[in-house]
Structure 1
Amino acid sequence: MLPQGTSLHVTVENANCTEIIDYFDGVFNYLNTMLMEEEDLANKPCMFIDSLALQATEASFYNVLVDSNCHSDESERMKEYDTALLCEELTRLWLHKPCTVFARVIVSANVKKKRRKGVVEMVDLPELLIRCGEKMASNDTPEAIQILKTIRKHSSPNGNSSKRMAHYFANAIEARLGGGGLKLYQASTNTSAAQILRSYKAYIKACPFHRMSNVLANKSIGKLAHDRDKIHIIDFGILYGFQWPCIIQGLSLRPGGPPQLQITGIDFPQPGPRPAERVEDTGCRLIEYAKRFNVNIKYKSIAKNWEDVCIEDLEIDHEEMLVVNSMYRMRNVLDETVMESRPRDAVLGFIRKLNPDVFVHGVLNGTYNVNYFDTRFKEAVFHFTTLFDMLEATAAPGEDLNRELYEREVYGRDIINVVACEGKSRVERPEPYRSWGTRNMKAGFVQMALDSDLVDEVITKVENKYHKDFMVYQDKNWMLQGWKGKVLYALSLWKPAT
């Protein structure tokens, strides 16, 4: 492992991968390798959880953490990759199919009936949740508690989608009423990184959002960089680096050989004496992966609050093609409703100053980032109703444990943060994609046209490989993905305005 700010540089020779392949399944192979070859994942908490739990603290620990002594260990070499784990070849032609236009639908409440002593009891859990939220907003705590008791009676972490969703909202309501939201959100979990990564693997197998975003983003980057000898990718929110194995393999197939690739991985500092340790681990994995494809790669790790990153941290070479990437993590940067310094706009302004060739921006399309609790709570219920319904419809048989774990550790914690945390401790702050577009333009960006062939490829893959209720379509220069007409994710490309 390397101290923060240290660069890794590897040159690899004797490539043996020359066939034309589609690297659609690269993230699965990368995950498989991590889970098979890294025993420490069974003992470490997951980056998905720890980084945001630390960020949610009212007082920043960063200055304390970076003063701790960091030491270098040589990373243990990963075992040789088995050929079967590399991105499998998809030889059939992806035929274009027209995008199905979905009308926006209102998520209907599930009405459950329970017979008790000859009486049919009608229970509408989403409606009960919304009523409970209204009572909390008006400080009618006794009535909120009574409604919560009814919700508890009919909810369960392993029932149908409505019961599961209500269970995690009930946890969050209790935490808010008891004043323990932040403590519960930051509470350590007994679930290891390996367990959560297995559940994440099951999630991306069932849901196309992240994989399809990577297909569009990475192939767009590849097309823009087709004649460049040096490419530098600055990734705000890199986590485990799941986006980059596919682009490494794709660049290795470029006629004339791969370019020199530099990746700068940026993420929030982790708790403990070595705040950059897991961002460095990501770099070590990506470098080992690149060896398989004869890609000359350099990696640098940065563990800071994003608004504190400066140009001197980045080692920019003006001869390189500069790509800035932020995939669905900008929502965790605080906005002007919390801090007068406007960290969210400051990060976008900093990216503009870097003058990148392309800024790839993926956003979670959410409407529950408002200070009015009643409105925020209601919008959160609508949003998570969609997510739980989606998992119930798409989870593969035998994957129920992974589904339950993902709902508990990801959705459940997000719900706690949205419902039971306020101020700086509320770090789940999504905005509608059009609002992000306005922010980007104010920061000095203009939107780039999406490659229609790549959008068609994504549409066809989703239609052929996923549940019929997933949707993909294009709104101007945004690629939108969602479920049953509700837009959940949006992706676009930007460049500095001249």
Structure 2
Amino acid sequence: MKTEVRGNGGSISLQNPSLFNAPRDSITGALKGCLGSLDGACIEKLLLHCASALENNDVTLAQQVMWVLNNVASAVGDTNQRLASWFLRALISRASRFCPTAMNFYGGSMFQRRLMTVTELAGYVDLIPWHRYGFCVSNSAIFKAVEGCRKVHILDFSITHCMQWPTLIDALAKKPDGPPSLRITVLSFRPPVPPLLNVSKEEVGHRLANFAKFRDVPFEFHVKDDHCLSNESLAVQFESLLTQLTRSKLDLREDEALVVNCQNWLRYLSDETKVNTAHGFSLRDAFLDIIKGLNPRITIVVDEDSDLSAPSLSSRITACFNYLWIPFDALETFLPKDSSQRLEYESDIGHKIENIIGFEGFQRIERLESGAKLSQRMQNAGFLSLPFCEDTINEVKSLLDEHASGWGMKREEHMLVLTWKGHNSVFATAWAHDRVG
């Protein structure tokens, strides 16, 4: 029998007569009790049973648990059903790689992402405050940090195609003493993760330049060619990138205030010391050491507040399931079940789930660490935490007023954290170090 599991990301075909024909009475009592249940705790239990079976090469049990999951998962159901459907896809994807004799996977990656227009990307980041929160906190902190500076240079390490900068340009244009000149440098290399855009970085820069001209802000935009080869692993490409982050190659100028902006980016740098540098640093620590040496006025790090880097598959499933329900639940509050916007946004989360669950080694590029771990890493690297001012707090409150009432904000040590129904979702941090004047 051939069974297809369908969703917005495509279909997965599995050919194994026993997989979805597993008799109900052959499944252990613990699993039988979950059949037809939509309870999140029960779904998590099933996922962990499946993970344990795969880690122990118990193909029969893995197939039986997937059969049960298939009965409760739905790409157009409620929050738990939709989340379960993406975890099921990820587990099938993993099984197809690590248990090829048990099941066959057809069609390459499950998640064939389309390229968005700039207008579509704007709607994407406006959907929930997942990205806009980081933009808001960062821009406010940058605005304060460069007060009194006549020239500003931003090194932008992010995955959102410069969507945050029009707001900053607009704020700089309104300064009573006139705007400073603004120079933004981005990398030609970007991790191959959603959202994806249908225009080049050069075109993005051209559009920003037109907007800055309209707002009378002196502006330059540069794309740094890092000479990375697309057929190399992500770790190798990042290692090549680090060699390009020098004062001369970045054209840093003494009369400019340097800002380093990291939005949902640091997680893609490998944290395995064996991968890379001559000094025994991980790529992540090596990057921070290089950035500190550039002597920025402020370094911003924003990312999702969860630890998804554990070597154990079961640990990653627990952390991932108990964290990524947040965007699924938030979308449930205001979009219909068959909304194309909702399905597309969820499929991008599914892309992340597949990588976290379905891959190992250098192919697993989603290695997120929590805000607390990141803060300790920054301190170990010699950075000093910068507090966020009341103006920043007020701007974030105004932003959250535009969204569902479940969104909130709280201060934690070194961090300002976006919350959903009291659960941490995105952290924002700002850093300087003792060589900043």
With the length of structure 2 as denominator, give the TM-score of the two structures.
0.78
Q: Does the 8 Å CA contact 1:448/1:494 hold for their aligned counterparts?
A: yes
Q: Does the 8 Å CA contact 1:175/1:184 hold for their aligned counterparts?
A: no
Question: Which stretches of structure 1, 4 residues or more, deviate above 6 A after TM superposition?
Answer: 120-123, 180-185
Q: Distance in 2 between matches of 1:334 and 1:325?
A: 19
Q: Does 1:243 align with 2:164?
A: yes
- The offset of 1:132, in angstroms, is 1.4
Q: Distance in 2 between matches of 1:251 and 1:378?
A: 43
Q: Does 1:327 align with 2:249?
A: no
Q: Does 1:175 align with 2:93?
A: yes
1:91-114 CA-to-partner distances (Å, cap 9, x unmatched) read: xxxxxxxxxxxxxxxxxxxx9985
Q: Distance in 2 between matches of 1:339 and 1:298?
A: 35
- Residue 407 of structure 1 corresponds to 346
SS of 1:191's partner is coil
Q: Distance in 2 between matches of 1:295 and 1:371?
A: 48
Q: Distance in 1 between matches of 2:58 and 2:50?
A: 9
2:146 to 225, 242, 245: 225
Q: Does the 8 Å CA contact 2:259/2:299 hold for their aligned counterparts?
A: yes
Q: Does 1:133 align with 2:51?
A: yes
Q: CA 1:391–1:475 in 2, change beyond 3 Å: closer, same or farther?
A: same
Equivalent position amino acid for 2:114 in 1: T
Q: CA 1:398–1:287 in 2, change beyond 3 Å: closer, same or farther?
A: farther
SS of 1:139's partner is coil
Equivalent position amino acid for 2:299 in 1: F
Equivalent position amino acid for 1:428 in 2: E
Q: Distance in 2 between matches of 1:351 and 1:423?
A: 26
Q: Does the 8 Å CA contact 2:73/2:85 hold for their aligned counterparts?
A: yes
Q: Does the 8 Å CA contact 1:361/1:491 hold for their aligned counterparts?
A: yes
- The offset of 1:188, in angstroms, is 7.3
Q: Does the 8 Å CA contact 2:189/2:225 hold for their aligned counterparts?
A: yes
- The offset of 1:184, in angstroms, is 7.2
Q: Does the 8 Å CA contact 2:308/2:320 hold for their aligned counterparts?
A: yes
Which structure 1 segments of 5+ residues have no match? 1-48, 50-110, 115-119, 272-276
Equivalent position amino acid for 2:340 in 1: L
The percent identity for this pair of structures is: 25
- The offset of 1:192, in angstroms, is 3.2
Aligned pairs, number: 374
SS of 1:313's partner is coil
- The offset of 1:236, in angstroms, is 1.2
- Residue 427 of structure 1 corresponds to 365
Q: Distance in 1 between matches of 2:217 and 2:98?
A: 49
1:288 to 210, 222, 225: 210
Q: Does the 8 Å CA contact 2:152/2:257 hold for their aligned counterparts?
A: yes
- Residue 28 of structure 2 corresponds to none
Which structure 2 segments of 5+ residues have no match? 1-8, 10-32, 100-104, 193-198, 227-237
1:356 to 291, 296, 299: 296
Moved more, 206-215 or 376-385: 206-215
- Residue 320 of structure 2 corresponds to 380
- The offset of 1:255, in angstroms, is 1.8
Q: CA 1:404–1:192 in 2, change beyond 3 Å: closer, same or farther?
A: same
Q: Does the 8 Å CA contact 1:321/1:357 hold for their aligned counterparts?
A: yes
Q: Distance in 2 between matches of 1:369 and 1:420?
A: 13
Q: Does the 8 Å CA contact 1:368/1:379 hold for their aligned counterparts?
A: yes
1:234-291 CA-to-partner distances (Å, cap 9, x unmatched) read: 11125420010111111111123211110001252589xxxxx832232122112212
Q: Does the 8 Å CA contact 1:185/1:417 hold for their aligned counterparts?
A: no
- Residue 253 of structure 2 corresponds to 317
Q: Distance in 1 between matches of 2:329 and 2:82?
A: 10
Q: CA 1:485–1:423 in 2, change beyond 3 Å: closer, same or farther?
A: same
Q: CA 1:267–1:130 in 2, change beyond 3 Å: closer, same or farther?
A: farther
Q: CA 1:308–1:427 in 2, change beyond 3 Å: closer, same or farther?
A: farther
